[in-house]
Every structure is written in structure tokens, then in C-alpha cells.
């Protein structure tokens, strides 16, 4: 006789079916939890306030330039999910600048662009689904101008720590370059021989006298205070050092009679002016030359030279300093600056003292 089983044994607690059922239930709970979190994040939006600098540029075009401010500090408010705002805040901490290319979509001229429009065009803002609620300033001024190309602009190298003999001038390669300038600045550029570029000073202080060296020099991207874009941006300068030089800065005490605003125009822009009172200035004039000559230069701090637009004592004093150290080129440059500014604009004739100094320059040129 066969016995009948009255019950079925329970499955083992840690066998395969038990593990499968437990994993299935846990996965189901995790999916439901993630869906609840995602739904809550989508439904619960909030606002966040941020500070950043908008940096404007014309990266996509070599024919346009930005005349207005290229960096604008802004405060703005964004709306979005808490996770999107958190990601944006983290990115802004690592890269606190919002860059915007104004060469796309804007023609040359003046535009008032809503700040919110620039912010909304940012990739991180748009891809994160954030909305710009407010921004200060509300608009940003953008002044675009077209660049004009000028060819064959000569490059004049500058040096420090040494000078070359006039019969062995430095060689510049290339000697002439092409520049681009804003069309609105084209008429303000110097004309004729005055249209030339200069380089940052080439340091010759460690070059032995008589030795020829070749150095790369960066072209200064300005002519007469006007921004230009030289191509190429650097030149190679080959020079033979004839004499080692030092420099000395001398304070020329000047007391002004009339008018006190005269020192604020472009005549004095190359000098450092230290204001002591409304009618007293201290032009800091730097003179280059051999050390033995520099040691003999003196400036009386107690003697004030009374000047007005009708007098040229300051120019004469600076010319004498340059001649004393044998720097005829700088002395002649000061003389030409006087002729181009004070003399030409006001119709004055150089004083007898200045004319004598000019004769000394010409005599020194003939004898060298």
C-alpha cells in the first residue's frame, strides 16, 4: 500500500526562485521611485539668481570689429528644475563668463540687444530648458564696424639697453605688413610717412657691443592711439649693437599760467603727469643714452618753468637732454611734435632757442 503525501515542502529561502522574486520586487520599487522623483522635479520648478560677465566677440568674422564694451557684468534670474539650476550654477562657478558671438546676425552699426536674448542663446541655458525671467542691465549696446585693409605699412623696431649705428640700421623682416582698421577710424590715421607701426622694445642689454643678433618682436597694435590688427603680428629684427645704453627718468617741474587744461590734450600723452596742485605738474621724462652721459644730466626740482601755449621752454629742455646723451633721433622727434601740435595748430614760430637746437641736430647729422 502506497502512502499519500499530505503536504508539499516549502521552497528553500535562498534558492533560485527566491532570489528571482526578491530582485524583481526591488527593481519594481526602484523604477517607481525614480519615476516619482523625475515627476516631482518636472512639476516643481524654481527660480535662481546668478551673476556673470557677458563677453562679446566677433569670432566668426575677420571683417568686423566691436567698438563698444567687450565685457558687461550682468545679474539675471533663471527659472527651471532644481537639477537644471544646480548644473548651471556649477558650470558658472567653473566658467564665470558667458561668451556671445555678435558677428552672427548683426550688421555693422549700433544695436541695442536685450540681455535676456543673449542669455537665452547660450548653449547651457537653452539645452537645460531654463527660462530667462529677468536681467540687468536690460539691454547691451553693441557697436559693430567693418574692418578696412591697408597694405605695405612699414614697421619701425624699438630697442632698450642698446643702440645701433646710423650707418648700420636694423633689418626688419618683413619690413612692411598689412593692417586692418575700423572704417570709422580710417580718416584719423596718420598720413604719409607718419603711418608706421612700432614694435615692443627689443632688449639688447645682454648683447655684447659689435655683435649682431636676430630677435622676434611683437608689433604694437596701435597707430597714434588707434587700434589696428597687423598681419603678421610679429617681425624678425636683426641689429648690430654699437653701444650699450641705460635710461634715466627726470622730473621736470612745470608751473602753468594759462590754461591749465592744456596739459590734458594729446601733446603730453607720452609723459607721466603727477598732479600736485591745479596749476603744477611733474612730467616724468625718460632719457636713453650711455651711462657716462646720463650721470651728467640734472633737473632742478625748485625751478618752475612758466609755460602757456605761447612758450616752448619745456620742449627745448627735453631736446637738450636727448642731445646731451647723443640721441639726435629723439631730439628731432620732440621738435617735430612741437611743429605738428602747438606751432601748426596755433600758428606759432619756434623760438630762437628751439631753432638753435634744431640747427645742432642738423649739424650733428652731417658730421656723423
252 closest CA partner among 218, 204, 285, 287 = 285
Helix (H) or strand (E) holding 86: helix 82-94
Q: What is the mean pLDDT of residues 328-332?
A: 86
Could you tell me which CATH number the domain at 147-242 has?
A: 2.170.120.40
- pLDDT value of position 170: 93
Cβ neighbourhood burial of 268 (10 Å; 0-12, 13-18, 19+): middle
- pLDDT value of position 344: 64
Laid out side by side, the sheet with 71-81 consists of 97-101, 45-57, 71-81, 131-136
Where along the chain do its domains lie?
Answer: 44-137, 147-242, 246-367
Which of 6-20, 190-204, 245-259, 329-343 has the weakest average pLDDT?
Answer: 6-20
As beta bridge partners, residue 231 has 178
Whether the per-residue pLDDT at 40 is higher than 80: the answer is: no
- Tell me the range of 15-19, 22-26, 97-101 where mean pLDDT is highest: 97-101
- pLDDT value of position 341: 67
Contact between 315 and 305 (Cβ < 8 Å)? no
- pLDDT value of position 272: 45
Helix (H) or strand (E) holding 177: strand 176-182
State the residue for C-alpha cell 596749476: 279
Q: What does the alpha-carbon distance between residue 270 and residue 158 come to, in Å, rounded to a whole number?
A: 15
pLDDT digit string, tens, across residues 154-202? 999 998 888 888 788 999 999 999 999 999 999 989 888 889 999 999 9
- pLDDT value of position 268: 46
**Dmax (CA) of the chain:** 150
As beta bridge partners, residue 178 has 231
250 closest CA partner among 274, 284, 300 = 284
What sign results for the dihedral spanned by CA atoms 341, 343, 344, 348? Answer: positive
- Tell me the range of 82-91, 175-184, 241-250 where mean pLDDT is highest: 175-184
Residue 39, helix vs strand vs coil: helix
Q: What does the alpha-carbon distance between residue 189 and residue 227 come to, in Å, rounded to a whole number?
A: 10
- pLDDT value of position 259: 45
Whether the per-residue pLDDT at 25 is higher than 60: the answer is: yes
- pLDDT value of position 202: 92
- pLDDT value of position 327: 83
What's the chain's average pLDDT?
79
- pLDDT value of position 214: 94
**Angle formed by the axes of helices 328-338 and 352-367, to 10°?**
140
Can you read off the three cell numbers belonging to residue 75? 545679474
- pLDDT value of position 29: 75
Percent of the chain with pLDDT over 70: 74
For the chain, state the CA radius of gyration.
Answer: 36
- pLDDT value of position 96: 87
111 closest CA partner among 150, 142, 74 = 142
- pLDDT value of position 279: 44
Q: What does the alpha-carbon distance between residue 181 and residue 146 come to, in Å, rounded to a whole number?
A: 8
Q: What does the alpha-carbon distance between residue 220 and residue 159 come to, in Å, rounded to a whole number?
A: 13
Q: What is the mean pLDDT of residues 313-340?
A: 82
Q: Any idea how long the chain is?
A: 368
Whether the per-residue pLDDT at 10 is higher than 50: the answer is: yes
pLDDT digit string, tens, across residues 273-300? 444 444 455 566 677 677 677 777 665 4
Q: What does the alpha-carbon distance between residue 202 and residue 199 come to, in Å, rounded to a whole number?
A: 8
Q: What is the mean pLDDT of residues 20-38?
A: 72
Helix (H) or strand (E) holding 99: strand 97-101
pLDDT digit string, tens, across residues 49-80? 999 999 999 888 888 998 888 999 999 999 98
Amino acid at each position: 500500500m502506497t502512502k499519500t503525501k499530505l503536504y508539499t515542502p516549502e521552497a528553500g529561502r535562498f534558492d533560485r526562485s527566491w532570489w528571482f522574486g526578491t530582485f524583481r520586487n526591488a527593481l519594481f520599487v526602484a523604477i517607481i521611485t525614480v519615476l516619482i522623483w523625475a515627476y516631482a522635479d518636472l512639476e516643481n520648478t524654481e527660480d535662481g539668481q546668478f551673476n556673470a560677465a557677458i563677453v562679446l566677440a566677433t569670432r566668426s568674422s575677420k571683417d568686423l570689429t566691436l567698438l563698444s564694451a567687450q565685457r558687461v557684468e550682468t545679474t539675471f534670474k533663471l527659472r527651471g528644475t532644481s537639477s537644471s539650476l544646480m548644473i548651471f550654477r556649477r558650470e558658472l562657478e567653473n566658467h564665470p563668463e558667458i561668451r556671445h558671438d555678435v558677428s552672427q546676425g548683426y550688421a555693422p552699426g549700433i544695436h541695442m540687444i536685450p540681455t535676456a536674448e543673449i542669455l537665452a542663446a547660450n548653449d547651457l541655458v537653452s539645452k537645460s530648458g531654463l527660462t530667462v525671467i529677468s536681467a540687468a542691465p536690460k539691454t547691451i549696446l553693441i557697436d559693430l564696424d567693418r574692418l578696412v585693409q591697408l597694405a605695405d605699412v612699414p614697421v619701425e623696431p624699438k630697442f632698450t639697453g642698446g643702440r645701433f649705428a646710423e650707418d648700420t640700421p636694423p633689418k626688419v623682416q618683413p619690413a612692411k605688413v598689412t593692417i586692418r582698421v575700423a572704417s570709422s577710424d580710417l580718416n584719423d590715421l596718420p598720413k604719409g610717412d607718419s603711418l608706421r607701426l612700432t614694435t615692443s622694445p627689443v632688449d639688447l642689454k645682454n648683447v655684447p657691443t659689435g655683435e649682431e643678433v636676430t630677435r622676434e618682436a611683437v608689433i604694437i597694435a596701435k597707430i597714434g592711439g588707434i587700434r589696428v590688427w597687423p598681419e603678421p603680428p610679429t617681425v624678425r629684427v636683426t641689429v648690430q649693437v654699437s653701444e650699450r645704453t641705460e635710461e634715466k627718468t627726470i622730473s621736470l617741474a612745470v608751473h602753468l599760467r594759462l590754461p591749465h587744461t592744456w596739459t590734458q590734450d594729446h601733446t603730453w600723452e607720452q609723459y607721466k603727469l603727477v598732479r600736485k596742485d591745479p596749476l603744477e605738474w611733474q612730467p616724468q621724462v625718460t632719457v636713453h643714452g650711455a651711462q657716462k652721459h646720463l650721470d651728467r644730466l640734472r633737473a632742478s626740482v625748485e625751478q618752475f618753468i612758466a609755460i602757456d601755449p605761447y612758450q616752448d621752454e619745456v620742449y627745448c629742455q627735453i631736446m637738450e637732454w636727448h642731445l646731451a646723451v647723443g640721441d639726435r633721433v629723439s631730439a628731432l622727434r620732440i621738435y617735430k611734435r612741437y611743429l605738428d601740435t602747438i606751432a601748426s595748430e596755433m600758428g606759432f614760430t619756434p623760438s630762437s632757442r628751439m631753432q638753435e637746437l634744431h640747427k645742432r641736430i642738423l649739424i650733428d647729422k652731417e658730421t656723423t
